[in-house]
Structure 1
């Protein structure tokens, strides 16, 4: 099964489920950038519940830009803020110390474009999970592509129609189970069991 997805910032669980259960993944890189999506944000479980962390980008709605051309506003100290938020949320999780060094390049390297950042996030996640995925990229935008299952809607942050089986989260006793957070939430809490969890979930 071939699936078409957007590369996103530390993708949510639905994105990774779609990728893990695909025979081949196509990343959409020829579309116009849209605000208010997971292209430049991810959600974690903080002490007060769901917390969204957003990468600031240089973009205006008046001047349409291709996703691959959108630059990060690096004058904002977003990397330090995001890393501090992750530490606060997950330092007590079972596998935070095991994986945090793997993802540190995201918060130490200088990324110019949001697409480059997102591709690096995906690379780090697949390496951490030791996933061997067949990945390709689009070379033109198609509104209704043929011969591929279109999962680009998963990039919309309002999409929450997926029910995943619960797993133990750091603050679940305070706020209950929060589904479909960033893959980091699953990784820090479940560690080596993450891949097995992903293969059990369905998004169809």
Structure 2
């Protein structure tokens, strides 16, 4: 489960819902959307990263990854979201829904991501039961496995139709940003885009 997932993630989610199971038992892969999101800032692409506590290198299960509070990343992320989307059509409409996620401390990244994800589902009126794997399986026979399909470092994305973005007059349309970019710019119509 990702932190403020990209639009393409939700496009895939819509194609497979309601039969979606989220991986919770794999070893936490670094540099993925599990703890990062891309938003559109006045200067272009801005990467927001939730810092995690360094565990046993690559052998920490995703469900056991803890969030680090060594610096005030929540304040930084919230100020960034405000700076990026204050001028968008719907930021003020959703602001009070998102603000608590940048005040409350969560111990585990998966819990934080799950609650944010459930909020986004509710705001977009997507009906989906959030289920997690109980054991790790290297492959899932007969199922579409999208665990490695979304890479935060590779911006390779399927064709995406443009929608209005606050700063597009500066840098043009940026595809596959966080779902909050679509939500803050399109509001209740965001579901129709997917």
Partner of residue 15, structure 2: 21
Where structure 1 has 5 or more consecutive residues not aligned to the other structure, the ranges are: 1-6, 199-204
Where structure 2 has 5 or more consecutive residues not aligned to the other structure, the ranges are: none
- When normalised by structure 1's length, the TM-score is 0.90
Partner of residue 169, structure 2: 173
Partner of residue 41, structure 1: 36
* Distance in 2 of aligned mates of 1:154 and 1:54: 19
TM superposition shift of 1:142: 1.6
2:70 to 72, 75, 79: 75
Further displaced range: 17-26 or 44-53: 17-26
* Distance in 2 of aligned mates of 1:53 and 1:136: 26
Deviation sequence 1:104-143 (CA, Å, 0-9, x none): 2211211001111110111110111121114321111122
- 1:191 aligned onto 2:187: yes
Contact 2:28 2:58 in 1 (8 A): no
Deviation sequence 1:140-173 (CA, Å, 0-9, x none): 1122211321111234212523221000100001
**Aligned ranges for residues 76-115 of structure 1 at < 5 Å?**
76-115=71-110
* Distance in 1 of aligned mates of 2:57 and 2:186: 43
1:52 to 47, 51, 56: 47
TM superposition shift of 1:15: 1.2
Count of matched residue pairs = 192
TM superposition shift of 1:83: 0.3
TM superposition shift of 1:183: 0.2
Q: Which 4+ residue blocks in structure 1 deviate beyond 4 angstroms? A: none
- For the aligned residues, what is the CA RMSD? 1.4
* Distance in 1 of aligned mates of 2:58 and 2:182: 37
Partner of residue 123, structure 1: 118
* Distance in 2 of aligned mates of 1:87 and 1:156: 26
Q: Which has the higher strand share?
A: 1
Deviation sequence 1:47-98 (CA, Å, 0-9, x none): 0000000011112564621111111111310110000000000000000001
Assess, with a 3 A threshold, how the Cα gap between structure 1 residues 63 and 89 changes in structure 2: closer, same or farther.
Answer: closer
Assess, with a 3 A threshold, how the Cα gap between structure 1 residues 49 and 152 changes in structure 2: closer, same or farther.
Answer: same
